[in-house]
Amino acid sequence: MRLNIRLFTITCWVLVSTCSLVRGGDWPQWGGLPTRNMVSDARHLPVSFDPGKPRMKGSGGMQMDISSAKGLKWAVRLGSHTYGNTVVADGRVYIGTNDDYLHDPRLRETGGGRILCLDEESGKLLWQLVVPRFRTTLKGFNYDDMRLGICASVTVEGNRAYVVSSRGEVVCLDVEGQANGNDGPFMDEAQYMSEQENPEFSLQSTDGDIIWIYDTIKELPCWPQDASSSAVLVYGDYLYAGTSNGVDLSHRNVPYPDAPSLIVLDKRTGRLAAQDGEQIGRTLFHGQWSSPCLGPVDGRALIIYGAGDGCCYAFEAFVGASRGDEVAELQKIWACDCNPAAYKSRPYQRGQYHSFNSDFYGEGPSEIIGTPVFCDNRVYVTVGQDTRHGRGAGALTCIDAADGNMLWQSTEIDRSMATVSVVDGLLYVTDYSGFIHCLDAGTGEHYWKHGTESPTWSSTLVADGKVYVGTEKRDFRIMQAGKRKKVLNTIRFPDKIYNTPVVANGVMYIATERYLYAVGN
């Protein structure tokens, strides 16, 4: 047993010990690898394609005329809003969306979330999990008010898929769905999807198969702000996920200030094994939507997490408690404040700074929304705010992963929700104001920036010597990677692009608000 654990640890170490690139095969989690670096060594990717033309809108919303498309392998309809990024593993494509326009005739209500599992070759639906909307009578509870659906990326390991649902649950799923039977211990999928004590329908082979659920809202408890969006990180026998704990509808009060921000679950059972003890809820600005990453430093594995107080934290990877039922406290190794002092020119109070206006260049500090990236014993992370708070001054920080000291910081980027791409000594990142930036990863020297003339949620993907970015105004930008700025192409899509493109097995996947496109041969 000890030998197997040691071999597993060594394998994980090899995967993340350098500034690794995804090797052109599967993309099984947010960022491809646990380091979360948005880079792939895939080759021969397209510079030009046509996603097709929209048809007239009907009761089901906008429909695409795929027959007019060029260069697509397939395209699949999603909900009305899609923020859950695409992952690809073992012939299956996973994506989270909302339930609008994807009505299941067996269910009485819509407006929740969906996890779709598609065949990689054809785009055919293999299975789906319907996640009903979260409902509560608690006053001021502002969770899932905008019907955003599943905002977190799925993480796939072996025959299990893990995701944080639109109900604040960490869910473990069988990658084959109900096609191979209903595996336990969870057996009430029909009741879960229908919210009825005695559902009037039976499960189908195209329904999802839940193995276990951990409900963070009920069990911790916590109070997610707007949405849950943390991508699960798997390391050893444990899962790491952010709770999205934040403010209530007043945007000033944190109902659960002592709730953990980062939790650790046993991946086999869903049991809560550990949590942070930093009381970030007492100092957070608004919400917490970042995902943890993994980095090996000086012979130990660090779990790195960007929090709602604008600090990046490093914790010792959890190896087990002395008692099996004990909930341990994660050991903090370091913390680094990623907001420049000038952004906190006066003592911070929630709601004090004028920023809740999309047309106003807001002031004040920001939380970490993008995912920290580990590369060559450094951590790179941006700060930003909820998009409804508009544009504002941001920062990109490079941290020494060994001691948490800041190596350099650039304030030439605005507020950002993006995860960076680091390759060949260069770093690429977007900001919400709509600029694509290229910097020196070692020094922070700014080489170029390119304006997209659109608010930008998408992170950069770097592959095949190109930088790929989608924008809110429906443009898909393709830039030449390198120190000199060069635009290769701009492709217009029929609807907004909030997601980050990914590449798996030679095919690029681009999720817009309402469609998932597989681009390539």
Structure tokens given for 268:
């086999």
User: What is the spatial distance between Cα 452 and Cα 475, in angstroms, rounded to a whole number?
Assistant: 8
Cβ atoms of residues 148 and 83 within 8 Å = yes
Q: Is the peptide bond before 185 cis (omega within 30 degrees of 0)?
A: yes
User: What is the spatial distance between Cα 33 and Cα 115, in angstroms, rounded to a whole number?
Assistant: 21
User: What is the spatial distance between Cα 54 and Cα 71, in angstroms, rounded to a whole number?
Assistant: 16
Verdict on whether the full-model pTM lies above 0.85: yes
- What pLDDT was estimated at residue 360? 64
- What pLDDT was estimated at residue 58? 60
- What pLDDT was estimated at residue 1? 35
Give the 3-state secondary structure of residue 311: strand
Beta strand 39-40 with 461-463: parallel, antiparallel or unpaired? parallel
Q: Extract the residue ranges of the chain whose pLDDT is less than 70.
A: 1-18, 56-62, 108-110, 322, 346-360, 521
- What pLDDT was estimated at residue 521? 66
3-state SS of the chain: helix, strand, coil percent to 5? 10, 35, 55
218 membership: H or E segment, kind and range: helix 216-219
- What pLDDT was estimated at residue 4? 40
